[in-house]
Structure 1
Amino acid sequence: MKKNKISFESYFWAADRIECPFELVNAFYDYAHLDFYKHTLGEAIIYSHKRKIYMQDHPGQIFVFYTAMSSFLKACYCLKVKSKKWQVKESADCESILHLASLTKEEYNNPFIVFQKAFAENTPDEFEFFLCEIVHLSLSPSAEEFDFDMMTPYLYLIKMLDASQLMRERGLQRIRKTVQAELTTE
């Protein structure tokens, strides 16, 4: 049976077709810094409530931001599945609450938990709808009321950004199969 691959559609912003979620995360942060993504997402949410247009001088930049974030979300969904075979390398315990960013201690120790929680709470389509609506509303000159929860996807997106950056900094390693060794000794 052939596995269906998710297209990350990275060619819109990275000029390459990237098929590995780990490579996509690297390209995502090579394209722009974590602070840029957090700032742009926060500003888009703020402008979705205003009668002003976000990035009025360069509205095309918000479209590129949208395509990069959409690719990032697809990679995060794949990372949720990859958590069974991969783990983040150990690091020194965080000495300050600032090291945690938006993550709990448990999420800091195992960033894959963030992806599992996020996609247990919202489907990939719901995250995509959230991104689309935020971009649409931030580029609209009129303030509109919306009848969906914006905070939950926003908070999970921030957590996924922090978790993926942490994974990139600390590196990954395959989980060794110790289960087989334990079964042969019994």
Structure 2
Amino acid sequence: MKKRKTPFETSFWAGYSAGNPFKVLDAFFTFADLDYYKQSLSEVVLYSYKTEVCKQDNPSDIFVLYTVIKSFFRICYCLKEKSKKWKIAGSLQSETVFRLSSLTKGEYENPFVVFEKAFEEKTLEEFELFLYQTLELSLSPHAADPAPDLTTPYIHVIRMLDAAEQIRERGVEKIKKTDRIDRVMG
């Protein structure tokens, strides 16, 4: 039985449709940097608890953020699957960078673990629902106590952003058969 591929839906924001998750990850960080994504997501979550409308001067930014982050979730889901065949190529460059991220030392050494943990706790559909609900609440001028748990998925997303940045910066290489045997045996 053939596996069904998850479409990344990049044509709107990247201008092309890509099938390789590592190339889509490059496009994701070319579109905007890590700080922009973290700041925008934090702002949206903050506004979901307010009666003010987020990005009131240009709410179309929220729509663009929605499409980009939705693609990011799909990339992360795919990277979770790729973790069995790929490993980080580069070594740890700087302890300072590690301290500034949300990752543990083990996750910094192997960022694929972050995706595995996130998708063990939440499904792809639950992350997409979190994004939808958060953006809907942040664009609403009405006071509403958000019923869903926004904190847990938010923390996972921040950690996935940090892990994805590490993968992009340090690169990946295919795991050789001997590495797989060592991994199972060790």
Q: Shorter-chain-normalised TM-score: which range?
A: over 0.9
Q: Is the 8 A contact 1:49 1:138 kept in 2?
A: yes
Deviation at 1:6, TM superposition (A): 1.1
Larger Rg: 1
Matches within 5 A, 1:33-182: 33-92=33-92, 94-96=94-96, 98-99=98-99, 101-178=101-178
TM-score (norm 1): 0.92
Q: Runs of at least 4 residues of structure 1 off by over 6 A?
A: 179-182
Aligned mates of 1:141, 1:79 — CA distance in 2: 37
Aligned mates of 1:114, 1:55 — CA distance in 2: 30
Deviation at 1:95, TM superposition (A): 2.5
Percentage of matched positions with identical amino acids: 49
Are the structure 2 counterparts of residues 26 and 93 from structure 1 closer, same or farther at C-alpha, using a change threshold of 3 Å?
Answer: closer
RMSD: 1.7
Q: Is the 8 A contact 1:94 1:100 kept in 2?
A: no
SS of the residue aligned with 1:178? helix
Indicate yes or no: 2:35 matched with 1:25.
Answer: no
SS of the residue aligned with 2:177? coil
Q: Is the 8 A contact 1:100 1:108 kept in 2?
A: no
TM-score (norm 2): 0.92
Are the structure 2 counterparts of residues 91 and 55 from structure 1 closer, same or farther at C-alpha, using a change threshold of 3 Å?
Answer: same
Deviation at 1:27, TM superposition (A): 0.4
CA deviation profile, 1:149-185 (whole Å, cap 9, x unmatched): 1111000000000000011110100001017988xxx
Instruction: Give unpaired runs (5+ residues) of structure 1.
Output: none
The corresponding residue for 1:14 is: 14
Aligned mates of 1:88, 1:31 — CA distance in 2: 23
One-letter amino acid of the structure 1 residue matched with residue 52 of structure 2? K
Deviation at 1:91, TM superposition (A): 1.3
Between Structure 1 and Structure 2, how many residues are aligned?
Answer: 182
